[in-house]
């Protein structure tokens, strides 16, 4: 570095304001009022260090430096008179990034209504308001208001669950995998559980029924084959070490062709002859007949209980349309044994889950309003014409923003329920399809566009398929459409 450059660098570094001066600079006090002096002080110091680093890099032949986010940035040749304003702006941006919640609202335009990675079921307003009350007020979570004694948190909703399912008793844990784990731990430790080989499903994230059995201390007794299991297979497997028979609803895959399975009513008769309980893991169990709204048939919890199941486990945040939870319903003596197991306390739900679950369950008392008030069912039953109309409003806005680099068209598509529910059934939908005119380099351009959509203030999540980026509008309801259209103008490619 020449002497001239060294002198210029020293002069520029001398013009960099001190920390104390920056804390009294215009624009900093509002930051302190929002973020507090401790955070603002750290932000200012980090900004000053970054500015000095830029000046040093500038003096060393304009080498590139890296900003705090880790991306490459070119030295800006800043005017010393603008140092103060630059530091205030940089500190403000840094503080805003740190304050932004890691969990953010996104637009789910994947076409999957119950998307596990995007939070599954959306809660209706009644549940949201109940959670707010539970968050901001003390509650009778484990307090009996009538007797003044300690209560059981399951008492808040077990009567309602039993009313809707026809079960004698119920308990709630934090998800359906926990419900299965607790059931097996309480009823079958060191004993055998008979399950059809064709029902040994993988739930998700490599979490499998055999693994749950092993963790519960139960011994898996497989019967039948992948595609065919007969009543005699269960009969022949039962022995003095058998604790229970178990059936698993294969909701996340389907086998067709030369198949045979034993239905729950027949399995219940076999269990009764041998004085054994039968448990049915329904997974994404529903409380109502979905066919009345034109949706595919799915076994209901009540129907399963009436068919003879002694215990039924199912999820709260799938077809039920509530918060994440695992529900166990069935015979009262079995539920009592399950609730006494030490794992029950470890797997129990908190007040927010119970607060959200109760109003969702209450909606089922008025089935004539369910398709309107239960968010999940409303999304599943939206007419294709609604999505078509929405797509026609969205298409010209996106086309104008993207210009000639992409084509945007309104096209029919198929949504799916998601979260392992009815995997082979699809729902007619509409959306917008974004393509690259020069197809030879479409992969990179589509990935760039997908990333830009995810970088919007409210990220947009679609799916790339068939050399196109598809945005299914089933989950874009009228209340959110205006926000989606407005932020499209902020797309940066």
* Tokens 């895959």 found at: 253
Domain contains 410: yes
- Look up residue 249 and give its two tokens: 């609803």
* Tokens 């595919």 found at: 296
Domain finish residue from 339, 373, 407: 373
Are residues 369 and 389 both part of a single domain? no
pLDDT at residue number 442:
80
pLDDT at residue number 31:
95
Domain contains 493: no
pLDDT at residue number 273:
95
Specify the 3-state DSSP secondary structure of 242: strand
Helix (H) and strand (E) counts for the chain? Answer: 20, 17
Q: Is the pLDDT of residue 404 over 70?
A: yes
Specify the 3-state DSSP secondary structure of 114: coil
Give me the domain span that covers residue 18: 3-99
Domain finish residue from 355, 373, 391: 373
Phi-psi region at 315: left, alpha or beta (left = phi > 0; alpha = psi -120 to 50): beta
Domain contains 81: yes
pLDDT at residue number 16:
86
Torsion of CA 173, 179, 184, 186, to 10 degrees: 20
Are residues 12 and 62 both part of a single domain? yes
Residue 68 binned pLDDT confidence (cut-offs 50, 70, 90): very low
Q: Is the pLDDT of residue 423 over 60?
A: no
Specify the 3-state DSSP secondary structure of 452: helix
- In tens, the pLDDT along 154-197 reads 999 999 999 999 999 999 999 999 999 999 999 999 999 999 98
Are residues 68 and 172 both part of a single domain? no
Per cent of the chain over pLDDT 90 is 72
Residue 370 binned pLDDT confidence (cut-offs 50, 70, 90): very high
Q: Say how far apart CA 274 and CA 328 lie, in whole Å.
A: 23
Q: How many CB atoms lie within 10 A of CB 455?
A: 12
Please say whether the beta carbons of 187 and 243 come within 8 A.
yes
Are residues 451 and 309 both part of a single domain? no
φ, ψ at 402 (rounded to 5°): -85, -20
Are residues 226 and 360 both part of a single domain? yes
Domain contains 417: yes
Please say whether the beta carbons of 476 and 393 come within 8 A.
no
Q: Of 92-106, 170-184, 209-223, where does mean pLDDT reach its minimum?
A: 209-223
Are residues 180 and 279 both part of a single domain? yes
Q: Say how far apart CA 108 and CA 476 lie, in whole Å.
A: 7
Domain finish residue from 99, 133, 160: 99
Q: Say how far apart CA 472 and CA 388 lie, in whole Å.
A: 10
Are residues 383 and 466 both part of a single domain? yes
Are residues 366 and 420 both part of a single domain? no
Instruction: Tally the domains of the chain.
Output: 3
pLDDT at residue number 72:
33
Residue 168, classified by CB atoms within 10 Å of its CB into exposed (0-12), middle (13-18) or buried (19+), is middle
pTM, full prediction? 0.87
Task: Write the CA distances from 47 to 65, 74, 90, 369, 415, integer angstroms.
Answer: 14, 16, 6, 56, 47
Residue 10 binned pLDDT confidence (cut-offs 50, 70, 90): confident
pLDDT at residue number 430:
97
* Tokens 């570094």 found at: 13
State CA 369 to chain mean position distance. Answer: 25
| Average pLDDT rounded to a whole number, residues 323-332 | 98
pLDDT at residue number 69:
40
Residues in the chain: 493
Are residues 63 and 173 both part of a single domain? no
Q: What CATH number corresponds to the domain at position 347?
A: 3.40.640.10
Q: Is the pLDDT of residue 459 over 90?
A: yes
- In tens, the pLDDT along 123-132 reads 999 999 999 9
Are residues 171 and 310 both part of a single domain? yes
Please say whether the beta carbons of 64 and 20 come within 8 A.
no
Are residues 328 and 452 both part of a single domain? no
H-type alpha helices, 67-203: 83-99, 125-136, 158-165, 176-187
Are residues 136 and 48 both part of a single domain? no
Please say whether the beta carbons of 148 and 159 come within 8 A.
no
Domain contains 120: no
> By C-alpha distance, which of 107, 104, 96 is closest to 488?
107
pLDDT at residue number 76:
46
| Average pLDDT rounded to a whole number, residues 29-47 | 94
Domain contains 436: yes
- In tens, the pLDDT along 243-290 reads 999 999 876 556 666 678 889 999 999 999 999 999 999 988 899 999
- Look up residue 171 and give its two tokens: 């308990």
pLDDT at residue number 262:
86
Report the mean per-residue pLDDT for the chain: 89
pLDDT at residue number 347:
96
Q: What CATH number corresponds to the domain at position 419?
A: 3.90.1150.110
| Average pLDDT rounded to a whole number, residues 337-362 | 97
């Amino acid at each position: 570095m020449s002497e001239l450059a060294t002198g210029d660098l020293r002069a520029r570094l001398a013009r960099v304001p001190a920390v104390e001066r920056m804390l009294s600079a215009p624009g900093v006090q509002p930051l302190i009022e929002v973020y507090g002096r401790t955070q603002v002080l750290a932000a200012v110091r980090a900004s000053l260090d970054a500015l000095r680093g830029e000046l040093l890099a500038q003096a060393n032949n304009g080498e590139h430096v890296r900003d705090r986010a880790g991306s490459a940035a070119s030295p800006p040749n800043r005017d010393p008179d603008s140092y103060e304003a630059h530091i205030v702006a940089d500190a403000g941006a840094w503080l805003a990034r740190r304050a932004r919640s890691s969990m953010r609202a996104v637009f789910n335009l994947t076409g999957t209504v119950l998307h596990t990675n995007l939070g599954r079921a959306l809660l209706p307003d009644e549940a949201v308001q109940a959670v707010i009350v539970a968050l901001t007020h003390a509650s009778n979570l484990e307090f009996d208001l009538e007797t003044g004694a300690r209560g059981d948190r399951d008492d808040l909703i077990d009567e309602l669950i039993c009313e809707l399912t026809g079960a004698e008793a119920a308990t709630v844990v934090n998800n359906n995998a926990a419900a299965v784990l607790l059931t097996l731990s309480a009823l079958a430790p060191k004993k055998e559980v008979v399950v059809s080989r064709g029902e040994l499903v993988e739930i998700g994230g490599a979490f499998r029924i055999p693994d749950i059995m092993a963790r519960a201390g139960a011994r898996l007794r497989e019967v039948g084959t992948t595609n065919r299991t007969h009543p005699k297979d269960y009969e022949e497997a039962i022995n003095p070490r058998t604790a229970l028979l178990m059936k698993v609803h294969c909701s996340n895959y389907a086998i067709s062709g030369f198949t045979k399975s034993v239905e729950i009513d027949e399995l219940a008769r076999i269990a009764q002859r041998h004085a054994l309980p039968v448990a049915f893991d329904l997974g994404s169990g529903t409380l109502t007949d979905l066919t009345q709204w034109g949706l595919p048939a799915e076994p209901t919890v009540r129907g399963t209980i009436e068919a003879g199941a002694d215990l039924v486990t199912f999820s709260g945040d799938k077809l039920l349309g509530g918060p994440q939870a695992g529900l166990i319903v069935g015979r009262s003596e079995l539920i009592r044994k399950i609730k006494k197991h030490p794992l029950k306390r470890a797997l129990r739900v908190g007040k927010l889950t119970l607060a959200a679950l109760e109003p969702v369950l209450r909606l089922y008392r008025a089935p004539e309003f369910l398709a309107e008030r239960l968010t999940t069912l409303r999304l599943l039953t939206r007419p294709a014409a609604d999505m078509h109309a929405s797509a026609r409003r969205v298409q010209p806005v996106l086309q104008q923003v993207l210009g000639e680099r992409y084509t945007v068209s309104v096209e029919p598509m198929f949504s799916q329920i998601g979260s392992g529910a009815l995997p082979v059934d699809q729902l007619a939908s509409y959306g917008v399809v974004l393509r690259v005119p020069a197809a030879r380099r479409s992969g990179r351009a589509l990935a760039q566009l997908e990333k830009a959509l995810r970088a919007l203030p409210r990220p947009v999540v679609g799916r790339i398929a068939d050399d196109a980026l598809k945005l299914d509008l089933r989950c874009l309801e009228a209340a959110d459409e205006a926000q989606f259209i407005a932020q499209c103008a902020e797309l940066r490619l």
